[in-house]
Amino acid sequence: MKMTTLERIDAPEQAPAAEVVHSARSCRMVGDILARVGDKWSMLVVMTLLEDNRHFNELKRGIDGISQQMLSRTLRALERDGLVLRTVHASVPVRVEYALSGLGRSLAEPVKALGAWAVTNRVSIEASRAVYDSRGDEVWSRA
């Protein structure tokens, strides 16, 4: 017997495109979502699940440096947000499989684009950091 904790929410996977008004208020409203999709472990889990569905230990082995506790927390949060589906296979021992939902898959392109931007601009950002760091606290002490 197979049980998925979150098969599908009655709402469509992706809300219809609406006019986005960029303001401080609208940015605050999506801050918790951006924090989720922008955190280190969530993105590694999403990108790993893009390749294929995985069991917990497969994810743990495939994501270098993640602890069991952090992987557990990350998967719960991604499931709560509707990005990951958790399927329990009634077997001995019980096997749990994780997969991206449609919503989770829709996150792949923006994440890839942001990753490409970071790789393309890494040298410039590192150079800017070096210049900033070489100035020390003198700039902020005058403010």
Per residue in 19-43, pLDDT (tens digit) is 666 677 777 778 878 888 888 899 9
Where does residue 25 rank: exposed (0-12), middle (13-18), buried (19+ CB within 10 A)? exposed
Per residue in 79-104, pLDDT (tens digit) is 999 999 999 988 888 899 999 999 99
- Among residues 96, 125, 111, 88, the alpha carbon closest in space to that of 36 is found at 111
Amino acid at 58: E
DSSP 133: H
Q: Is the pLDDT of residue 78 over 60?
A: yes
Amino acid at 125: I
pTM of this prediction exceeds 0.85:
no
Q: Which residue has the higher pLDDT, 140 or 7?
A: 140
Would you state the pLDDT for residue 2?
A: 52
Phi, psi of 95 (to 5 degrees): -115, 135
Quote the Cα angle for 17-20-26, to 5°. Answer: 130
Q: Which residue has the higher pLDDT, 93 or 124?
A: 124
CB count within 10 Å of CB 101 equals 22
Would you state the pLDDT for residue 139?
A: 61
Amino acid at 120: T
Q: Which residue has the higher pLDDT, 3 or 137?
A: 137
Q: Which residue has the higher pLDDT, 85 or 142?
A: 85
Using the structure block, give the residue that is written with the tokens 């829709």: 106
- pLDDT, mean over the chain: 84
Per residue in 104-116, pLDDT (tens digit) is 999 988 888 988 9
> Taking the mean position of all CA atoms in its chain, how far away is CA 109?
12
